[in-house]
Chains A and B, each alone.
Chain A
Amino acid sequence: MGRFDADGVRLGQHEGRGRYPASPATVGEHKTMSRAPVPFRPRLSPRAAYLMQKVLAPNPVNRALGAAVERWPLARRLFTAGERQAKERLFGCRMCAQCALPVTGYSCPMGCPKELRNGPCGGVGPGGACEVYPELRCVWVAGYERAASEGHAGDLRRLQRPVDHRKFGDSSWLNYWAGRDENLWTADDLLARKGRPPL
């Protein structure tokens, strides 16, 4: 995994209870080659993010682009690298390839230390702090606020299906345009429905 610049988070700050201890190799250094998820504050405003959603919609142009890119391994690699660059900087993307951003207020749930896809855990601090990294804001608290500010709070009611770990590292845009991620989540009206949607 590439550089992971989580809002200037330094591993050495996470000493003591509920935090990973500092090690001589990491104290004072930006966290690089991170494997552990760390909450990330999105660098794109909610308004801009929802606008971007319109640009990235699986319209005929994007579908044709995706199909063309997928025909050439080199093009696919370059496209995927570009997506990674953009989404890492904007959202702290970890390339799960099953992007939930459109229905989480564009706050990435894969930055949650528990990688929860269906909402915040019960350990969120009174001010909205992450249980594991108290100096950082819970990605779901941020996601709820961002979604609500643009009238999308209902998105968070959707049930998110389990992540397929084989897909990590792939392009989620190509998956999206090719229709390979249509079952990631359910409709947002399930609280009013009687039956349980199929898993």
Chain B
Amino acid sequence: MSALSDRLAAGKFTVTAELSPVRGASAAAMTDRAAALRGWVDAVNLTDNQGSHVRMSSWAAALAAKAAGLEPIMQMTCRDRNRIALQSDLLGAASAGIENFLFMSGDHPASGDHPGAKPVFDLDSTQLTWTAATMRDEGRLLSGAGLKPPPERIFLGAVENPFAPPLEFRAERAGKKIAAGARFIQTQYVFDTGVFAGWLRRLGDLGLLEACHVLAGVGVIRSARMLEFLSSGRVPGVVVPEPVRKRLGAVPADQTGAEGARVAAEIIAELRELPGVAGVHLLTAGYEKQTPALLEMAGVSRAD
């Protein structure tokens, strides 16, 4: 399996980071961004037209990240491709040596730069995970047609938002994805570690932590503007709790970023102590240069 899968299986604290593909046709620009993270993270997530804004495709960006010496996790959403295109792209990416995949529904086109686009959503994220696992393990497509050879080395992941209603169902929803074949789960921003710990406990009670590695999402609020944006409710699924808002609001505006980094470092340190947390997933795209300092502040040493 992949290097990411090996590291998780070895039980080592794992750091992944989001790396958003550029809006342009240059792989060099991708390689540049990736370089700052080399040696500090175990894998990078290449987002799939995040927020429904058109970017370089995630497979191309994953290849650029790989060329820069990073382990890529290729994200695939259900928003833009039907089951034919999804299976085809998965085969193509696997043939090019991409081994880690992360599946999600994806933001709706209405929130992006092409709001008139046709939303596809032919499969949902659970069905897509199930399809990929079937391709790998049974060597066949959804149609039943055989694959020669199947994508034998692919390592599958899914996402969950422990903070979105219905809270009681969120562990079970992750459980459905695990039953479908997901072996790692990356979460939405964790600001409220209490709610997160409750979700994690529920996963454990369902016996799912043995089947799956959880990487907790951590973001850095870099400015007063970003705090306002994240608190506005305009970012699907993101909630900044009152205590964090208060703490960041209490410092002068030019120090929001520094305080935001301290909050993130404290959250990372706290998450690290939670049983069942395999690592953290840094939702810090565009913050690559400051990421090493953040990890140092959180007491996470350079990846070996």
Interface size band for A: 35 or more
Chain A residues with Cβ below 8 Å from B206 are: 191
Contact A122 to B234, CB < 8 A, known contacts A114-B105, A132-B108: no
Residue pair A17, B111 in contact (C-beta under 8 Å): yes
The closest CB in chain B to the CB of A197 belongs to: B179
Q: Mark B96-122, 1 if CB is under 8 A from A, else 0.
A: 000000001111101100010001011
List the one stretch of A44-52, A78-86, A87-95, A155-163 in contact with chain B.
A155-163
Among residues 144 to 167 in chain A, which have CB atoms less than 8 Å away from a CB atom of chain B? 144-145, 148, 153, 156-157, 159-162, 165
Least Cβ–Cβ distance between B171 and chain A, in angstroms: 9
The residue that B110 contacts in the complex, of A20, A118, A196, A197, with Cβ under 8 A, is A20
Shortest Cβ gap from A95 to chain B (Å): 17
Chain A residues closer than 8 Å to B152, beta-carbon distance: none
Bound Cα distance from A148 to B169, whole angstroms: 10
Q: Which of B142, B159, B165, B234 contacts A126 (CB 8 A)?
A: B165
A122–B108 contact, CB under 8 A? no
Assuming the contacts A116-B124, A157-B172, asked whether A122 and B236 have C-beta atoms less than 8 A apart, the reply is yes
Q: What's the minimum C-beta distance from A48 to chain B, rounded to whole angstroms?
A: 22
Q: Which residues of A contact B234 (CB under 8 A)?
A: 17-18
**A119-B176, A131-B236 known; A162 and B127 CB under 8 Å?**
yes
Asked whether A162 lies within 8 Å of B142 as measured between CB atoms, the reply is yes
B111 touches A18 (CB 8 A): yes
Known contacts A124-B237, A161-B127, A191-B206; is A119 also within 8 Å of B110 by CB?
no
CB distance from A7 to the nearest CB of B (A): 19
Q: Which of the segments B29-37, B130-138, B274-282, B284-292 contacts the partner chain? A: B130-138
A156–B78 alpha-carbon span in the complex (Å): 20
Give Cα A17–Cα B51 distance, bound, in whole angstroms. 12
Task: Tell me the residues in window 105-157 of chain A with beta carbons closer than 8 Å to chain B beta carbons.
Answer: 113-128, 131-132, 134, 138, 140-141, 144-145, 148, 153, 156-157
Asked if B179 contacts A19 (CB within 8 A), the reply is no
Tell me if B188 and A122 are in contact (CB < 8 A).
yes
Within 8 Å of chain A (Cβ to Cβ): is B161?
A: yes
Against B, the Cβ 8 Å flags (1 = close, 0 = not) of A160-199 are: 1110010000000000000000000000001111001111
Which residues of B come within 8 Å of A, CB atoms? 78-79, 83, 104-108, 110-111, 115, 119, 121-127, 130-131, 133-134, 137-138, 142, 159-161, 163-166, 168-169, 172-173, 175-176, 178-181, 188, 206-208, 233-234, 236-237, 239
**What are 18 sample pairs from A and B whose C-beta atoms fall under 8 A apart?**
A36-B119, A114-B78, A114-B106, A115-B121, A116-B124, A118-B124, A119-B172, A119-B173, A120-B173, A124-B237, A127-B165, A131-B236, A140-B166, A156-B169, A162-B122, A191-B207, A196-B130, A199-B142
